[in-house]
Copies of this chain bind each other. A is one copy, B any other.
Amino acid sequence: MESVKKRLTEFSLEAHDLYLNQSVPYLEEPPDPLQFYRDWIGPNKPCIIRNAISHWPALSRWTPEYLREKVGSKVISVAVTPNGYADAVSGDRFVMPEERRMSFSSVLDVIEGKVQVSGVLYVQKQCSNLLDELPELTDDVEPHVSWMSAALGKLPDAVNFWLGEASAVTSMHKDHYENLFCVISGEKNFILLPPTDRPFIPYVTRVTCVCQVSISRPFTANVTTVSLRSSTRVTLRRSRGSLWTLWTLTWTGTRSTRELGHCTVA
């Protein structure tokens, strides 16, 4: 068994030496779909693409005032957690956030600090909530990224709008999708681990439960800290209309850092 572990360690190191980059590369403009498939989707490598969404009106329009005017009265689903950790491990449990229905204005009140609530808010749906819950905002972006749709040969399964406080954290997880992540406002920090590091990621099955911040006392989640020598850290800011690609089965954890929080369409 020791020889297996040794070989898996070598495999991880070789993957970094042979095809993964030590940092996430930047492309200066949106790529040709075939070239993009060949260089990034096929090898399952993340990259940051500058000037990919600089033409989106959202970059200049999406202020709290504008959002209040356009969708302030809309009732949306918000994940509420005691400490910002949604879908996170706490002791022997896997704790899912409370799903609360709130008006968009109420969410902005909290994020802007005008109203204090117990817990941390995070609009983080994955059910195409931009198109389904907030269609009034779609004119400010594009409902799909044309060169990515051409590369994949299909339209996106979901187009999501995310909005969260600085303390909102997405726990380490992996997706079975190709993701594009576009930061419209604020800043998002990613920690990435390639699929070849899978053997070194603690991964156990736990009982799943849902926290109810609104009716119970907040608890403190014991979030497992994963410290791996090969993890890649990257910060995505709204500057220059960058667009972040994040491929299937890459392990990732994220944290927002700006006061206004981040507002993300992916």
Q: Is the CB of B153 within 8 A of A35?
A: yes
Secondary structure call for the A interface: helix
CB neighbours of A34 from chain B (8 A) = 33-34, 37, 150-151, 153
Taken residue by residue from 2 to 25, chain A's Cβ proximity to chain B (1 for < 8 Å, 0 otherwise) reads as 001000000000000000000000
Q: Which bracket fits the contact residues of A?
A: 10 to 19
CB neighbours of A1 from chain B (8 A) = 1, 4
Query: Quick check: is A42 within 8 A (CB to CB) of the other chain?
Result: yes
Query: Quick check: is A152 within 8 A (CB to CB) of the other chain?
Result: yes
Query: Quick check: is A41 within 8 A (CB to CB) of the other chain?
Result: yes
A42 with B35: in contact, given A1-B1, A4-B1, A4-B4 (CB under 8 Å)? Answer: no
Q: With the chains together, A26 CA to B81 CA distance in Å?
A: 52
CB neighbours of A38 from chain B (8 A) = 37, 151-153
Taken residue by residue from 26 to 65, chain A's Cβ proximity to chain B (1 for < 8 Å, 0 otherwise) reads as 0000000111011001100000000000000000000000
Sample of 15 further A-B pairs with CB below 8 A, known A34-B34, A34-B153, A38-B152: A1-B1, A1-B4, A4-B4, A33-B34, A34-B37, A34-B150, A34-B151, A35-B153, A37-B37, A37-B38, A37-B42, A38-B151, A38-B153, A41-B42, A42-B42
The 4 closest A-B pairs by CB, nearest first: A34-B34, A42-B42, A37-B37, A4-B4
